[in-house]
Amino acid sequence: MSETTRLRGLIRRFAGTRVLVIGDLMLDQFVWGDVSRISPEAPVPIVRVRHQEGRPGGAGNVVANVVALGGRADACGFIGDDSAGRALSNALAEAGGGLAGVVRSRAVGTTAKTRVIAHSQQVVRFDQDPDGDGVPARLARRLRAWVAAHARRYPVIVVSDYGKGVVTSELLADLAALRHRHGFHYVVDPKRPNFAHYRGASLVKPNLAEASVAAGLDIADRASLDAAGRELLRRWEADAILISRGEEGMTLFKARARAHHFPTAAQEVYDVTGAGDTVLAACALALAVGGTLEEAARLANQAAGVAVGKVGTATVSARELARALGNHP
């Protein structure tokens, strides 16, 4: 059986595979328009609005990508009892995501990012990132209890950490113990505040800058990249580390194995927004259906190549991914 045939077989098995996505749920709003003149009031473009839409962002975009690839994803995180929270709940439902693990509360606000796009180029972005004292302890305990009660139902659990307060050291410790008990696959997209707390995952997926900081090494060449990957395997006690390197592709590290480099599969790059979420979803599904770490990384690399060719917080379908394999043997 050829590698491409094997990978396409894995993609077909994505259908109906259950994934739990834990992390920071956000609303990505897009304002699409045209620019034909500069404002007489200030040297800024005037955007004539043509269309507006809201999409799941942050961990919600991982949910949307899992569903687009054929899986069944349940979201787990916090949503504020506010207008952005209601729009996010609707966007998740429209994308096909489950809300079983979502805690809605007036005690938290909903993070929203609004991008104004004209002629396929982002003009400006507005962020609504609620201030406050973080997530109340009672809500954090409620979420951890839900995860502990339901983790065994999922063949793979994803942590999408955007540093907004959902992912805590206590939750990460719980997940490491739950994986040891139940044997599910466990995939992490890390953020700096929790670098000291990731332990025991199947795969951790930092980008190049995150890997450099987490390993305490300046990554300047292949040798320093290899040293960083080995250090992260040790520190995070992970089965594998997948470092995304932008236009250089990705590099997979496993214990007692040589690093495996995957050149970028992108043909055209319009927007890198959310590409990491696409990688996370593809890795999670591939591992859940029996793919190796190398196969998961290869599929994720191809999926990222499709995602960056789209504008906005994009998803990639199973059909698009299978077609990409034919273009890039």
The span from the CA of 54 to the CA of 110, in Å, is 13
74-83 as b/e, with b when 16 or more CB fall inside 10 Å?
A: bbbbbbbebe
Q: Distance between alpha carbon 178 and the CA centroid of its chain, in Å?
A: 21
- Give me the DSSP letters along 169-237: HHHHHHHHHHHHHH--EEEEE--GGGTTT--S-SEE--BHHHHHHHHT----SHHHHHHHHHHHHHHHT
Hey, CA dihedral for 293, 12, 7, 206, is it positive or negative? Answer: negative
- Give CA torsion, residues 165, 170, 174, 177, to 10 deg: 130
- The DSSP code for 255 is T
Distances (CA, A) of 124 to 44, 117, 303, 314: 10, 8, 27, 18
Describe the crossing of helices 3-13 and 293-307 by its angle, rounded to 10 degrees.
Answer: 80
226 carries an active-site annotation = no
Catalytic sites, residue numbers: 277
